[in-house]
Amino acid sequence: MAGAGLAISVEIDDRQVREALTSLEKAGGNMHLAFQDIGEYLLISHRERFDNEQAPDGTPWEPLADSTLRRKMLKGVRRGKGKKRKSLTTSRGTKAGAIKALAGSKILVERGDLRDLLRYQAGGDSLEFGTDRIYGATQHFGDDDRNIPARPYLGLSDDDEAEVLRIIQAHLDDAMAA
């Protein structure tokens, strides 16, 4: 994938998928089109994973740290020109902007770049799927030095694997019918 100078490789070692791809290739199927369809499916699947805040195996992502919640809340508090945000509260309670900022707070979604900039590159013999965002690796694998927990988002769930096999089978059926 083009972009920042960081390469992360997560390989799926699944015998069923490899065997299905081998059958498709032997049948003269268009591997590039199959990989494109799989890539499109993975974009949808991974977006749902972000919406559900869970790893490919269904494990919920670790909740946001208190410091992250506070930072997100502070972004919602207006300030005067040149003034620092000093408080999340007033004498009447929490500032409305802080509550609004926190209400829509999602794990791994600040502006949506990581979720919305997942991409794939389909070739005749491979499919690359991921992000060119440098912080994508930090979010996926975590960073002990900065106290950032791993929140895996790349990979195939059991449902993803079944759908990938269905896509390959559909392309295999088309190749056999031609």
- Please give the average per-residue pLDDT across 25-38, as a whole number: 86
What is the per-residue pLDDT for 151? 93
Render pLDDT for 124-174 as a digit per residue (tens, 0 to 9). Answer: 888 999 998 888 999 999 999 999 999 999 999 999 999 999 998 998 888
Q: At what angle do helices 158-177 and 15-26 cross, to 10 degrees?
A: 10
Amino acid at 50: F
The whole-number pLDDT of residue 173 equals 86
Residue type, 148: I
The four Cα atoms 36, 38, 43, 49 give a dihedral, to 10 degrees, of: -170
- pLDDT greater at residue 81 or residue 55: 55
Q: Which residue has the higher pLDDT, 73 or 14?
A: 14
Gap between the terminal Cα atoms of the chain = 33
Listed ranges 40-44, 83-87, 126-130; the one with the highest mean pLDDT: 40-44
pLDDT-derived band of residue 72, with 50, 70 and 90 as boundaries?
A: low
- Encode pLDDT of 86-111 as tens digits: 554 454 554 444 444 454 567 776 66
In the prediction, which pLDDT does 111 show?
64
Instruction: Give the Cα separation of 121 and 41 in Å (integer).
Output: 13
pLDDT exceeds 80 at position 39: yes
Confidence of residue 1 (pLDDT cuts 50, 70, 90): very low
Structure tokens at 18: 């490899």
Residue 11, pLDDT above cutoff 60: no
pLDDT the model gives residue 126: 87
Give the CA angle between residues 166, 125, 57 to the nearest 5°: 45
Q: Which helix H or strand E contains 130, and what residues bound it?
A: strand 127-130
Residue 72 or 116, more confident: 116
